[in-house]
Amino acid sequence: MKRLKTFIQNMSLTQQLVSLVLISVFLFGFFLLSYIFTNINHIAQNQMFSLIHRSQDAIIENYYNFVPSENLFSNTDPTVVHYIIYTDDSHPTMTNAATQIGIDLFSEFTTQIAVQTKDTTDNISTLSQPKVAYTVTKVGNEVWIVSFMVTNTMNQFKTTLINEVVNIILIMVGLIFLFLMAWVGYLIHSLKQIETYINEYKKGDNVELIINRKDEIGELATAIVTMNKELKRQEQLKEEMVHNISHDLKTPIATIKSYGESIKDGIYPYGTLDASVDVIIEHASRLEKKVHSLLLLNRMEYMIQDGKPGKTDMKSVVEKAIRSVKVLKPEIKLITDLTSCSYVGSEEPWRVVVENLLDNALRYAKTVVEIRLAKDELSVYNDGAKIPENRMEQLFKPFERGSGGQFGLGLSIVHRVITAYGYGIRIHNEDDGVTFIITPENTMKETEIPN
């Protein structure tokens, strides 16, 4: 069994399908022929007696119509022999046979007539060679008609029947085989198209895949094309992100380097030593924050899965986050409406979520940021510009560029944490601002940002 499994696994899909077609056709033909050969004698015998009955019925009709004896057997099948026997010896036996039959067979006929209780009986002779199939029918008082055929005729019929059936089976099997091979070819052609598309795409060529199918292969082709488009988009975003990161890191690194070299030479670019060092510290902090965001995005999955998540006091988390970020823009008014409640998850990831949402809100707010916390909802509102509908589905994906051409990973971290804890996030444009809303997934009322 293991060898067979290995053998099948080493076969190409074309070989597997062709083998399956051949085996199916072979089994179909085998079972059909087996059925025919098993029942051929019964079929041939029924056919013989059907022929005898039709011929005998014509003789009986002639007899009842008082057709003269010389015309009594006219217009009947010549392969069927008829005997009209009078048991009271009032008339001689009449027959259409060219020669007299054997005494043993005639004796069997008369014996059957003597014991027969039904009007019509079908029998196969047991005394004569070759055997005959005969039918005995009572047509009048003491008048019987015996009609028979030699079984050699049945053998000829069986041979003819088998030849015809075999020919029909061969034609059917041929048509089925051709149909299945055409189907296999059509199936393999579509798979080859997909293979060619993948190989060309792997080389970096600009290639299209068009398969007009609605079955599983069509769905696979559509999924591959969609995946490749998304990979291209992600690759482009990554390139832009690398460019943006290098651009954003270049300025603080250059500043730190130039200020450090100037201080080493005894020159204070910002007037005094303390002021110049403060500039270095400021740019080092910016650099640290950007690097921290990158590392945090990669570490967040481990932070989330670090043990079985419990419950976190969200009111305490929000209050700590507010204390951390409110100094960033003291001119922005912070309004809070907090209810004591617990959310699933660890405290540190949730604090990162709230800080990133508040940091994002402060960045775009004009005058006010409002944060509300309830048992089943955490919302952060700012009175900044509305977000275009076509951008909402992209904001929470990594490597997306935000307003002003800057890359931002804060919202990507937000999305990764809340989805891991079984929550969803949506964006709602207000009349005079934007609200980010976090709720458990089973209570989401609008389209959740996809993973």
Domains of the chain plus CATH, in order, are 1-203 (3.30.450.20), 216-289 (1.10.287.130), 306-443 (3.30.565.10)
- Mean pLDDT over each residue of the chain, to the nearest integer: 80
At 102-160, the pLDDT tens digits run 888 888 888 888 888 888 998 888 766 777 888 999 988 889 999 988 777 667 777 77
230 vs 339: which has the higher pLDDT: 339
| d(C-alpha 392, C-alpha 411), whole Å | 11
Backbone torsions φ then ψ of 433, nearest 5 degrees: 165, -160
Q: What pLDDT is stored for residue 343 in this prediction?
A: 92
Does residue 442 contact residue 418 with C-beta atoms inside 8 Å? no
Single-letter code of the amino acid located at 138:
K
253 vs 401: which has the higher pLDDT: 253
Does residue 401 contact residue 365 with C-beta atoms inside 8 Å? no
| d(C-alpha 397, C-alpha 408), whole Å | 10
pLDDT of residue 307 exceeding 70:
no
DSSP per residue over 311-353, as a string? EEEHHHHHHHHHHHHTTT-TTSEEEEEE---EEES-HHHHHHH
| d(C-alpha 111, C-alpha 373), whole Å | 109
Give the single-character DSSP code of 367. S
Does residue 81 contact residue 149 with C-beta atoms inside 8 Å? yes
Range with the lowest mean pLDDT among 29-33, 48-52, 320-324, 404-408? 404-408
Phi-psi region at 271: left, alpha or beta (left = phi > 0; alpha = psi -120 to 50): left
3-state secondary structure of 399: coil
Dihedral of CA 413/419/421/427: which sign? Answer: positive
Give the single-character DSSP code of 442. G
Percent of the chain with pLDDT over 70: 85
pTM score, whole prediction: 0.42
300 vs 61: which has the higher pLDDT: 61
At 184-225, the pLDDT tens digits run 777 778 888 888 888 887 777 777 777 777 777 788 888 888
Range with the lowest mean pLDDT among 12-16, 85-89, 325-329? 12-16
At 371, is the pLDDT very low, low, confident or very high (cuts 50, 70, 90)? very high
Mean pLDDT for 280-301 is 72
Mean pLDDT for 166-175 is 80
For residue 432, CA distances in Å to 98, 185, 274, 379, 427 come to: 116, 61, 43, 15, 14
Mean pLDDT for 165-174 is 79
